Every structure is written in C-alpha cells, then in structure tokens.
Structure 1
Amino acid sequence: MSLRTYVDAWRHSMGAILDLELLPEDADRVTDLPGWSVRDILAHLVHLEDVLADGTETADTAGPSTVPQDYTQAGVDALHDVGLPDLLVRLRELVERRATQLAVLPDDPAAPAPSTPAGAPWTWETLLRNRVIDAWMHEQDLRRALNRSGNLDSPGAQVTVQSFQAALPFVIGKRAKAPSGHPVAVVVTGPVPFAATVVVNDDGRAAIDDDATPETTLTMSTEAFIVLGGGRRKPGQVPVEVDGDTELAHRVLTGLAVTP
C-alpha cells in the first residue's frame, strides 16, 4: 500500500473516534484492554500523536523494534488528570496538525522515519501502517465499550486485517508448531473476508499455500479475527468454528495475538 493510503486510513479512523461524540460519563467505561478505560485510550492516542507532531523522539537504530508497554502506560499516566472533554479537544487539534505535516510524504517508503514512539527504528511505511492499526484497533475498542459497532469494513479495517493475515505463517508455524504436512486454513468471513492456508514444510518453514488441502480449518468473523489478533480477548471468548485438530486449533487461536 502507498503511504498516502495509510495516512488516509489513519485520518478516517481518527475522525470516526472524534465523531463518536463521547460524553464525560463515558470516561470510566471499561474496555477490552486490561486496566484501561475509555479515557485511558483517548489519553494514549493524544500522547502518541503529540510525540509525532512535535518530533521530540528521534528514531534510534539501537532502540527496540516495538513500542514497550511501559512506554505507552507512562503516556497514559502523564495525562491522568486531564478530563475526557479536554482530551478530545487535544486529539482533534493534534490530528489536524499531524495531517498538515503529512501533506507531503517521502518518495521512499523504506526511508527512516524522523520521529517515532519510543525511538523505535521504523521506516516511514512501518510508522504509518502502525498508526493505522493503532488508531483503528482503538476505535474498535471504544465501539465495543460503548456498544456502537461500526467501520468493520473501513480503510483501517483493510490495513489491519491484511497485516494480521501476513503474520499467519509465523503464528501457525512458530507459535502453534503445526506439524509438517498438516495444512491449516484460516477463513475469515464478513466485512473483510479472506481465506489463507498455511503449510509447514519439511525444513520447518511455514508459508501460505492456497493450493494445499486443509486438514484443520478455523472459521471466524472479521471482528473475531481482529479481537484475537489484537490480544483483546482469549480463545473461547469469541465464536470460532473448528474443523479438524482441536488441540492444534487452540494453539493457533492462542498464538493469534500479534499486537498488544
């Protein structure tokens, strides 16, 4: 995908969050993220967009490849005393400011991003793709907390499902340790559907091979897939249909959490 596609998808999700018209009484609603309320999610988004808009944290090639959880928690804690209405005002301002900064994008998606959360050594493509996933996943966290389902077919949904789908060989081969010669299919139905069959070869490497005949198949909705892929809920807490090796299927479902 192009960098502009990522920016447009990120802005769409951010706009959707702001359009939820959250009220002060929504602040303490619990979400699927342990210990985080609706207000905490808004604080997290404000923190990261503020970091990127100000460019205060320069990417460090010696830094971590992912953003540590203690870093994100520290950002939430720093805004502990800011009320929900003020967080929404800040977020709206930051989104507009960041969108202006992203009006001109580099020609090379693989170029190092000049500023990243926690100094993660990300390229422009990695940074902008991760911002889409973070924004859309948190939009969905808020929607579930508020019981306002929507945007399961949005640009952010497309980017997120595609990213989680790309991790299936790692999940099935490395985490679930599927045996060689036992193809495992993941079938996702609904707004962003796909079907992918993963085969572990004799050398232990797993790859998608849609010509293989699955021996175990897991079927679930788009929402179930992203809830599991985002580590929001555990196997057994979302509906999944399994045909084949149930023990292997459970290991796959457990390993689907590829982002916190």
Structure 2
Amino acid sequence: MTTEHEDVRELLGAWAVEAVLPGDEHRITAHLPGCAACSAEARRLRDTVRHLEGPPAPPPSDVPHVLSRAFRTRAPALRTAPHAAPYAAAVAGLQALLGELGERGDWETPVAHDWDVHDTVAHLIAADEPLALHLGLHARVPASSVPEGAPWRAAWAARTSDVIAHERLRTPAQTVATWRNQAAGLLAAPAAHDRELAARAAVLMGVRLPVGDHFLVRAFEAWVHADDIGRALDRRVPPPRVPHLWQLVRLAVRILDIALGPQAPTVALTIEGEGGGTEWILGDTTDAVRAELVLDPVDFCLLIGGRRPPTDIPHGLSGDTSAAHHLLTRAASLSWL
C-alpha cells in the first residue's frame, strides 16, 4: 500500500502541467506545505513547465464534435524541442480521447491483442517505462521478476503482461493517472528540450537510437494505440499533425532500411501525401532499382505499426512485384506494439 507522500509524488508531473483531477489537486496543495521534498520537486517541475508551455494546437476541422471539444479543453501542450513535440501531441490527443470515456463501460471494449481499453492504457505505462527509467524517473508499477539476461522481446512481453495484471486490480481512472503522470515526467525531463542530451544514444527495446528518436518511438506508439482505441469505440482519431507525421515517417524509413540490410532487393520507396513527398533507395544500393513503390505517409506508419497487412496496403507499384512485396512484408514485421 502506498503512502500519501508516494501518491502525491506520483501526481506532481501531471500537476505541473495542470492535468490532475480536482480531487487530486486538493490532495497535492494540502500535502506540499508540510513536505519539503515534494515542495522542492513541485517548484522544479513548475519552473520547467513555465519555460516550456505553449498554446494547445487547434483541432483538425474534420474531427467529430465531441472529440474536437476535448482537444480544445485539454491541458496546455508543452513547447518541447522538435524531437519530443510529437510525443507531447500524441499524449494530449490520447488524453482527450480517454477523457470522453468517463465511468461508462467503454473501458471494457476489446481493442487489440486480447486487451480492452483499460489494458491498452496499462500497456502504454509499460511501453514508456524503459525511456522513463533511462532518464532517471522512478518506476510507477512494482518491479517484475524478469530473468537477468533475458532476450529483450521476452523481457518486454513479461513486463507488459505484469503491468497489465497489476493495473487490472485498479480502476481505469487510476491507470490513466499513472500513465499521464509518467508521460508528464518524460516531457518535463531535460532530454525532452535539450538537443545535446537528446543526441546521446541508448539501447531501449532492443534498438540503439538517440534519445530523441526514442521520444519519436513513444509518439508513434501512443498515436497507434489511440487509433486502436478510437476504432474500437467507433471514434475517429486524427493522424499526427503533418510535421510530426513526417518525423515519424523518416524514423520508420531509417529503421526499415537497417532491418532490410544491404542484401535486400533494391527498391525506390516514395512516401507521398500531405506535406510533400520524399524518395529513398532501400536495400542493395549498389544494384539497379528493381521496383518503385509509392505509399501514403499514414498508411506507411500504420504498416510499420502492424495495423495494415502488406497485402491490403494501398500503393503504387512498378517493376518487380516480389521485391516490393519483400519490403512491405519486412516493414510489417517490425511492429512490437
């Protein structure tokens, strides 16, 4: 059982960005005068946020009315560095969607991977945890008994399963608060707005990337799961803002190029849609291009995220069909979401 001090400490990140419920706000303000440690941490977080806050982005005009209202009334988005801005936006968007669910039975709606909405939010706690721990934040769910030296996929599967089991014993509101507070902590961390810190590489989830790219991975996953929840509830979730979407596309192409390796059939991949278009040559760049493939940026991201099967993805194709199919199949295989 956690103490009042521990509960308040969990809430400080969200409190700093004005994202706590009224009851939690009262608990925090009542606790701070008598706790020097929490008061100091609260001042530090508020000082950080004061330099980072910016106005919320306006909702797209085609977002349904109810969800648009939620986007307009959410807590202010943080003015983070470009590498963390997509994550901040994805967190705000998912928080807006979850805020519309209330206490109704929507939380038990099946989503994906045998998870309901509640489980999916719990999964995001586990998914964000490696980056949070790397940045010096404390774990918000009790430690799991993952064997030392276990392959990362096995360790990841065990951890996400344990976190979901833990959160099933709590209310959806408690689970959302834990996810939201951890996300607020990530966005208040120095690496979220310091490009030098963001350039330092770290191995997380089996991938060595700059910390800034790990923030993009977090944005990718938050958006994909928000889209999962929206589809399950028959509510349209808008794609990332165009600049953010292209950041995710460029990251996904870099990861796909590494996964294909230098021996793969050479394919000219063009991602083309709102915001422009870019072409990459992937595979064996010493060989002639065997196929030219054109994809929409949202479809490409959903393919990489495991939400579009290679056989159903809309695309333009000329040249060797087998070379293009190899690229599409490899892209779909990269998802662990």
Task: Give the TM-score of the pair, scaled to structure 2.
Answer: 0.58
- 1:169 is aligned, of 257, 261, 266, to 257
Kindly indicate whether the alpha-carbon contact (under 8 Å) linking 1:43 and 1:76 is maintained by their aligned counterparts in 2.
yes
Shift of the alpha carbon at 1:190? 2.3
Counterpart of 1:26, as a letter, is D
Do residues 101 (structure 1) and 189 (structure 2) align?
yes
Change (3 A) 1:154 1:16: farther
Counterpart of 1:76, as a letter, is I
Shift of the alpha carbon at 1:43? 1.0
Deviation per residue, 1:42-96 (Å, 9 max, x gap): 1122345567274349xxxx88677723322322222123333333333333333
Counterpart of 2:196, as a letter, is D
- 1:26 is aligned, of 106, 112, 124, to 106
1:187 is aligned to 270
Q: Which structure would you say has the larger Rg?
A: 2
1:207 is aligned to none
2:281 is aligned to 197
1:229 is aligned to 304
Change (3 A) 1:88 1:191: farther
Change (3 A) 1:152 1:104: closer
Shift of the alpha carbon at 1:10? 1.2
Partners of 2:283 and 2:207 in 1: CA distance: 32
- 1:38 is aligned, of 117, 121, 134, to 117
Change (3 A) 1:219 1:246: same
Partners of 1:25 and 1:233 in 2: CA distance: 28
More displaced 10-residue stretch of structure 1: 229-238 or 122-131: 122-131
SS in 2 for 1:188: strand
Kindly indicate whether the alpha-carbon contact (under 8 Å) linking 1:133 and 1:159 is maintained by their aligned counterparts in 2.
no
Kindly indicate whether the alpha-carbon contact (under 8 Å) linking 2:272 and 2:297 is maintained by their aligned counterparts in 1.
yes
Partners of 1:50 and 1:171 in 2: CA distance: 24
Change (3 A) 1:16 1:173: same
Shift of the alpha carbon at 1:17? 0.4
Partners of 1:34 and 1:194 in 2: CA distance: 33
Partners of 1:170 and 1:106 in 2: CA distance: 24
Counterpart of 1:144, as a letter, is R
Unaligned runs of 5+ in 2: 1-79, 144-148
Deviation per residue, 1:194-247 (Å, 9 max, x gap): 322335145x8xxxxxxx7x4412222222211111122321233233322222
Unaligned runs of 5+ in 1: 205-211
Do residues 141 (structure 1) and 228 (structure 2) align?
yes
Kindly indicate whether the alpha-carbon contact (under 8 Å) linking 1:143 and 1:150 is maintained by their aligned counterparts in 2.
no
Bigger relative CO (Cα 8 Å, ≥ 6 apart): 1
2:218 is aligned to 131
Change (3 A) 1:85 1:238: farther
- 1:11 is aligned, of 64, 88, 93, to 88
- RMSD value, Cα: 3.5
2:49 is aligned to none
Counterpart of 1:42, as a letter, is V
Counterpart of 2:89, as a letter, is H
Kindly indicate whether the alpha-carbon contact (under 8 Å) linking 1:44 and 1:76 is maintained by their aligned counterparts in 2.
yes
Partners of 1:169 and 1:76 in 2: CA distance: 33
Partners of 1:119 and 1:243 in 2: CA distance: 34
Kindly indicate whether the alpha-carbon contact (under 8 Å) linking 1:42 and 1:88 is maintained by their aligned counterparts in 2.
yes
Partners of 1:184 and 1:121 in 2: CA distance: 25
Kindly indicate whether the alpha-carbon contact (under 8 Å) linking 2:271 and 2:295 is maintained by their aligned counterparts in 1.
yes
2:39 is aligned to none
Partners of 2:151 and 2:216 in 1: CA distance: 17
Counterpart of 2:198, as a letter, is P
Higher helix fraction (1 or 2)? 2
Shift of the alpha carbon at 1:132? 2.5
Change (3 A) 1:185 1:48: closer
Counterpart of 1:227, as a letter, is L
Kindly indicate whether the alpha-carbon contact (under 8 Å) linking 2:84 and 2:212 is maintained by their aligned counterparts in 1.
no
Kindly indicate whether the alpha-carbon contact (under 8 Å) linking 1:6 and 1:132 is maintained by their aligned counterparts in 2.
no
Counterpart of 2:109, as a letter, is R
Deviation per residue, 1:144-192 (Å, 9 max, x gap): 33441313435542332111111343344468x31xxxx4122223235
Partners of 1:63 and 1:122 in 2: CA distance: 20
Partners of 1:120 and 1:196 in 2: CA distance: 21
Shift of the alpha carbon at 1:122? 6.6
Kindly indicate whether the alpha-carbon contact (under 8 Å) linking 1:136 and 1:156 is maintained by their aligned counterparts in 2.
no
